[in-house]
Amino acid sequence: MIKRFFHRYGFGIQSPWAYSLVRNVLFEPLRYYAFDDLRQKYPNLSRKERKRNEQLFRIVNHFKPKAVEIVGNADEATRDYLSPSASHPSPHLVYYIAPSAPVHSVPTNYADGTVIVVDDIRKSNIAVWGQLTNNHQATAIFEMGYRGMIVIDPKRIRQTYTL
């Protein structure tokens, strides 16, 4: 737990790219431009759901994927938080919602630049998360307790960050 708390704010992360991603995207405390509108549209979200959806929004806003693939059943609020992208430098974002796909249906080959986000990596999606992190293409792996994120980037050295 101490390690997670220490790394959550980027301390001890040596990669400038990963440090920036942790500090400015995954755990950014400031509000984004669309949060007020989304809060008004979905006033009944719990604080936990809102924080998780806002993190998804920041991830999509940062990577700007061409397409967002949702594996599992997402509610309307989650779908809205996953759709802020305007330009498209990153090829794809895959989002696994708990519980999602059986392990045998998880793809093993991804395009460079793909970002994979998996919810509930400690319980219902533990097998999916295990298969994805064991994939040779997974280079930057971020474990954030409930949620995990993998970035497929062959230019980077494989590294796992426990936040």
Could you tell me the residue ranges of all domains in the chain? Answer: 2-162
Q: How confident is the model at residue 8 (pLDDT cuts 50, 70, 90)?
A: low
pLDDT in tens, 116-159: 999 999 988 898 999 999 999 999 999 998 999 999 999 999 99
Tell me the C-alpha distance between 96 and 7, whole Å. 24
Q: Name, in order, each residue with C-beta under 8 angstroms of 97's C-beta and a sequence gap of 6 or more.
A: 70, 71, 72, 73, 74, 78, 119
Q: pTM for the whole thing?
A: 0.90
CB atoms within 10 A of CB 124: 16
**Would you say 56 and 63 are in contact if contact means Cβ atoms under 8 Å apart?**
no
pLDDT in tens, 23-48: 999 999 888 888 999 999 999 999 99
Instruction: Please say if the pLDDT value at position 7 is more than 60.
Output: no
pLDDT in tens, 80-101: 999 866 666 667 888 888 665 6
At 147, give phi and psi (nearest 5°): -120, 150
Query: What is the model's pLDDT at position 145?
Result: 87
Residue 1 or residue 55, greater confidence: 55
Q: Is 77 helix (H, G, I), strand (E, B) or coil?
A: helix
**Would you say 94 and 63 are in contact if contact means Cβ atoms under 8 Å apart?**
no
CATH code, residues 2-162: 3.40.50
